[in-house]
Homo-oligomer: A and B are copies of this chain.
Amino acid sequence: MDSVTLTEIKRQQKGWKEAFKYLETKSENVKVKFLKYKNRTWIFTGCGTSLYIAQTASYCFTKITGIQSKAVAASEVIISPEIVFPNDEFVLVPISRSGTTTEIVLAARKSGKEFSIPTIAVSCTSESELVGECDNAITFPFQREESVVMTGSFLTMLLSIIYLALELSEDTNEKLRSELTTLPDGSEKLMLSNELYIKEIACKLDLNEFVFLGQGPMYGLANEAALKMQEMTISVAQGYHTLEYRHGPKSTCAENTFAAVMLSDNGFDLEAKLIPELKDFGASTLVLYSDTEREHVNKADFKIEIPKGYSDLMKPFFYLPLLQLLGYYRAVAKGINPDSPKNLTQVVKF
């Protein structure tokens, strides 16, 4: 029988198509309900993978709408709500695959009941404790994930927040909207055509210190790719802002280090300079990029070029499935079953 984790990684692009078709039918509704909050600060919140969705979503949301936003761990919303909401000019967007994680339910309840903050749940499940706690919910048709490790749901939930941002934006965003129509097929094709290449990288078992680097919308992705590697392969992995890696973390960089750099167009010149430095420390490097090849990119050991012309906001949809596969195949190479990760359960409740 096929691994449920692998199945869920590989079916995700089909899911985006369905989700987006569904979400487009809801557009008028979104404007009416949420445009009144455009002068508030939007707080995207979640736990684990959903916190990393929140980090990327906050970037995309502000980029598209111009509305101020912030990503906050759900635990901080529960423990320090007075810091998250120093006044009442906020909106809370709790993100959760199942809608049943204890912290996210408590965060939504506290924000709504005690701080009178409007709440908009983003979830793969349309009826849940979380949706029940929130004033509004954005959910979409989603094949239930059986896996413990969240994969396909990351980008589907991100997509639903991008859809929300597009509806709230004053611009027509024609370029982005047109990119979205070709995104699922483009991402699927890239993923399938690189599956063997990624399998080869995953089998290099002498590389055992993992670092994932990204700026802007790729920062949440860096954290998520590190978490996938840690959960699936039971190896410690770290995510950083690309330029932050120089400020201390690189002290451990050596021959056993594997560093994946997810380049943006926005910061290309600053970010790509790190590649030769990583090489000088002896690290093996994988570079994900969309640009035509330039000097620094050519220094990488492994390279995957995504189709040209997509905005930085669309790059997560190409980059992340590749790194999910990397985690999956490395687990398999290590003889670990990624469907049954050590110490973990599907939902954290307490």
Chain A residues in the interface with B (C-beta under 8 A): 41, 47-49, 51, 59, 62-63, 66-68, 70, 73-76, 78-80, 82-83, 86-87, 103, 209, 215-216, 219, 227, 230-231, 234-236, 238, 241-244, 246-253, 264, 266-267, 270-271, 273, 281, 341-344, 348, 350
Contact = CB atoms under 8 A, between A and B. Distances in A.
Contact of A47 (B74, B103, B244): B244
A75 B344 contact: no
Contacts of A264: 79
Given A83-B59, A241-B75, A251 B230 contact: yes
Report how many copies the assembly holds.
2
Contacts of A350: 273
21 contacts: A47-B247, A62-B86, A63-B83, A68-B86, A75-B215, A76-B216, A76-B219, A78-B270, A79-B216, A79-B266, A79-B270, A227-B248, A227-B249, A230-B249, A230-B251, A230-B252, A234-B252, A238-B238, A247-B348, A250-B343, A253-B343
Contact of A87 (B47, B68, B78, B86): B68
CB-based closest 5 A-B pairs: A48-B247, A75-B243, A79-B267, A47-B247, A48-B248
A61 B271 CA distance: 31
A41 B230 CA distance: 35
A228 to B, nearest CB: 9
B251 A231 contact: yes
Contacts of A62: 83, 86
Nearest to A224: B248
A66 B86 contact: yes
B244 A73 contact: yes
Contact of A243 (B73, B227, B270): B73
A344 to B, nearest CB: 5
Contacts of A59: 80, 83
Nearest to A70: B70
A55 B103 CA distance: 21
A149 to B, nearest CB: 8
Contacts of A215: 75-76, 79-80
B343 A281 contact: yes
A231 B243 contact: no
A111 to B, nearest CB: 16
Listed residue (A49, A82, A103, A244) with the most chain B CB atoms within 10 angstroms of its CB: A244
Nearest to A235: B252
A348 B246 contact: yes
Contacts of A49: 247-248
A80 to B, nearest CB: 5
A248 B231 contact: yes
Given A236-B236, A236-B252, 7 more contacts: A48-B248, A51-B244, A63-B82, A66-B87, A76-B215, A80-B266, A251-B343
A266 B48 CA distance: 22
Contacts of A230: 248-249, 251-252
B47 A68 contact: no
